[in-house]
Structure formats: C-alpha cells, structure tokens
Amino acid sequence: MALKRLRPTSPGRRDAVRPDFQELTTRSPFKALTKGKNHTGGRNSRGKITVHHRGGGAKQSWRDVDFKRDKLGIPCRVETIEYDPNRSARIALVVYADGARRYLLAPTGVKVNDKLMSGPDAEIRVGNALPLGIIPTGTQVHNIEIQPGKGGQMCRGAGTGAQLLARDDRFAMLRLPSGQIRRVPSTCLATIGTVGNADHKNQKKGKAGANRHLGRRPTVRGSAMNPVDHPHGGGEGHAPIGMKHPKTPWGKPALGPKTRRRWHTDVFIVRDRRAK
C-alpha cells in the first residue's frame, strides 16, 4: 500500500494523506460472502444510546472473513485483493481446490495467483497457517488463535504481527505488538507474516467529514453541557467540575476503581506490556 498527498484545492484537502488503493484488484466484493449491515446509531434493542458519538455514515456491507483457516491440507489460490470497510486490513479472496471461496486477511507481500494452504503440512511461507508448535522460532505471525479451533483473535489489524520467541509441546511464547509476552497453546493456528496495509497508521483524514463518513459523530465535553445532561455541566463561563471526583454522565466515578472483569487468560501473561 502507498499513500498519496492530495492537491490543496480546499482546506479539507490541504493536509490530507490518504491511501491510493493501488494494491486492490477489484472494486466490488464477492456477493456470496457479503451480507447487509445495519447501523444502530449506538442504540441497543430498547432504543437507548449505549455507545455515544455514533450515527450517520456511508452504507456498508459485511464481508465474511475466515479467521479459522479450517480447510486443512487443501491448497488455495489468491483471486483478488479487496477493500474491507469493516477493518483496517485488506482482505484476499481465495479459491480452494474443491471450488470453495473464502475471504482471508491479506498478509504483507501476498499477491494475486499466490498459492496458500493451512494445516501442519503447509510450507513455512507468508500467508500459510500452521500450528504454533511447528513454526520456527523468530517468525512473525498474525491472526493467532487463543483457543484451538476458535479462530484467530490476536494481531488482526493492519500492519500488526507477533514474534514467536520460544515453544515446547504445550505452549508457545509470543511477543505481541504491545510488547506483552504471552503464552499460547502450541496447537493453536497462526498465519505466517504480518498483516498488510501497514501504512494505515500514517493516514490523515484532513477534514471532519471523513469521520462523519465513517459514522463517527462529534465528541462533546461534559463541562460544555447543561446540568440535566451531565454532572459536569452548568455554571457561568469555564466553571470547574466542583466535585470530589470526575463523573460519568450517569454519576459514577470516572477515574475510580476498575469495574471490568479480570479475564482468566491473564495467567498466560509472562511479561506485561508496561514492563518494556
């Protein structure tokens, strides 16, 4: 992927840096692997807004991406490299020897007509999926399973990849992009290489309308609201919060104790990302 600077014909284009999409080989997706995608505007089934700053945006369709890579031992050929509006990475449409077609995450360096395969008999080559217990140490991998057979859950964003540091019969040790070192069962599948579209992080939208096209509405500070809308609201001019702690819109402490459940997979963390 390459980026392009736009001609400064307007203030919104002056600082914009956007992808040129030269790596894409088709504009329309494979219809059998797409389905409609409803925009909720951040509202739940009761119509209550549970996620703020959502709404509008361009119409999108969902691409059914195969994260499991469970067609073991069957070779496939890359047909197209396509854009996916639901993720930062590009996706590749592959056709298997038995005629089935699936979408995969497009790794860096994979091109049309490349041959890919998944399973313990696959070669150590970019785009092939193998169990971590077979992959040589030092290899960069992505789309990594946490539980065998569940499908890849780690390193799926554009430009991401984890390094395989060590492995044994039970566990493989991975260094994730955050710097965290984690143990993963050796029977879990991972794909060789890193996810493509690494320049995604270097884009500049250039104007507020680019975010609106993505369905993201403006963020409003609580102190700019009325008291009926937020605990921080009200007062004349720039008024301080005036309370002991910052509050959420529902009056809960915003910087208080953690309320998220501690996941049981924390026992597999060898070194936390804070210990770089």
Does any domain span residue 210? no
Residue numbers of the domain that contains 188: 3-201
Pair 191, 246 in one domain: no
CB contact at 8 A, 112 and 106 = no
Does any domain span residue 273? no
Query: What was the pLDDT predicted at 262?
Result: 67
Helices (H), 177-223: 208-213
Pair 32, 105 in one domain: yes
pLDDT in tens, 31-67: 999 999 999 999 999 999 888 999 999 999 999 999 9
Pair 135, 79 in one domain: yes
Does any domain span residue 168? yes
- Pick the last residue of a domain from 155, 186, 201: 201
pTM value? 0.88
Does any domain span residue 136? yes
pLDDT in tens, 262-273: 666 778 888 888
Pair 148, 48 in one domain: yes
CA distances from 13 to 22, 205, 211 (A): 20, 9, 14
CB contact at 8 A, 222 and 249 = yes
Pair 131, 255 in one domain: no
CATH of the domain at 247: 4.10.950.10
Does any domain span residue 208? no
Residue 149 pLDDT greater than 60, yes or no:
yes
CATH of the domain at 25: 2.40.50.140
Pair 147, 239 in one domain: no
Pair 152, 251 in one domain: no
Does any domain span residue 7? yes
pLDDT in tens, 87-113: 999 999 999 999 999 999 999 999 999
Does any domain span residue 77? yes
And the tokens for 204? 């500049």
Pair 242, 118 in one domain: no
- Give how many domains the chain has, as a whole number: 2
Q: Where are the beta strands (DSSP E) in the chain?
A: 3-5, 17-19, 34-36, 61-63, 76-82, 91-96, 101-105, 115-116, 129-131, 140-142, 144-145, 152-154, 162-167, 171-175, 181-185, 189-192, 269-271
Pair 246, 178 in one domain: no
